[in-house]
Structure 1
Amino acid sequence: MKIMFYLSSCDSCRRIIKELSLPEEVNLQDIKKEPLNSSQLDTLRRLSGSYEALFSKRARLYTQRKLKDKKLSEADYRDLLLEHYSFLKRPVLVLDKDIYIGNSAKTVAAAQEALSR
């Protein structure tokens, strides 16, 4: 599976997609128009090691709901990720068995390296 989960209205996602010059075999899925389904999320969890690794603690809803004051379980993270697209740390690039989560320079550089192989 080669896919990037992103948000088309996110400047960082658009910049990273352009920077990576993704090959045609990488499918793009705008998570606002086509939210993650449970099967996709479970696959991402297997690749990343946890739902928490996929979860954005910078999401507005995270602050609004005061979730930082709560002890969230893996099941809570899963439910929240399925509930609203903004909880996904983005972009998420899957290249077969490798996963790159987020927009840090280190992550983008690692994804670029993987794509150039």
Structure 2
Amino acid sequence: MVLYGYRRCSTCRNALKTLQDSGAQVEFHDIVDMPPSEEMIRTWMDKSGRPIEDFVNTRGTVYRERDLKNAKFTEDEWVRELSQDGKLLKRPILVTDKEVFVGYHEGAYRRIALGAGA
């Protein structure tokens, strides 16, 4: 499984620790150093069944500074924006063989790690 997050984000560090403490083999990918491609974001949307709005970090500084609350972006425009600035992505994003999870919930991450054969 792969955890996409930001190394300086305490929630992302907690998510990684939860997975590792549960015995999961997890690869960490920093979305700020290397934002995901538009294709990857679309794959996450398809695999999760969630709309693009669920992947937008509406609590982040970049979102607020750019006043994106009032943006009237299409799905394609949001995908482009998210692929250009990893801080706009809600985090963490956990990708397993079968699913994509957006956000962190400790209990759910423990169950996911155990279900992955940890």
Category of TM-score, reference length = shorter chain: 0.7 to 0.9
Residue 33 of structure 1 deviates from its aligned partner by 2.2
- Whether 1:43 aligns to 2:43 is yes
CA distance in 2, matches of 1:109, 1:99: 16
How far apart, CA to CA, are the structure 1 residues paired with 2:106 and 2:96? 13
**CA offsets, 1:4-52, max 9 Å, x none?**
101111111111211222522x321111222212222121111233221
Amino acid at match of 1:16: A
| Unmatched tracts of structure 1, length 5 or more | none
Give the TM-score of the pair, scaled to structure 2: 0.83
Paired residue total: 112
Gaps of 5+ in 2: none
Report the aligned-residue RMSD.
1.6
Q: Provide the TM-score with structure 1 as the length reference.
A: 0.84
**Residue pair 1:5, 1:31 contacting (<8 A) in 2 also:** yes
Higher relative contact order (CA 8 A, sep 6+): 2
Amino acid at match of 2:113: L
Percent identical: 27
Poorly superposed stretches of 4+, deviation over 6 Å: none
Q: Which amino acid aligns with 2:14?
A: R
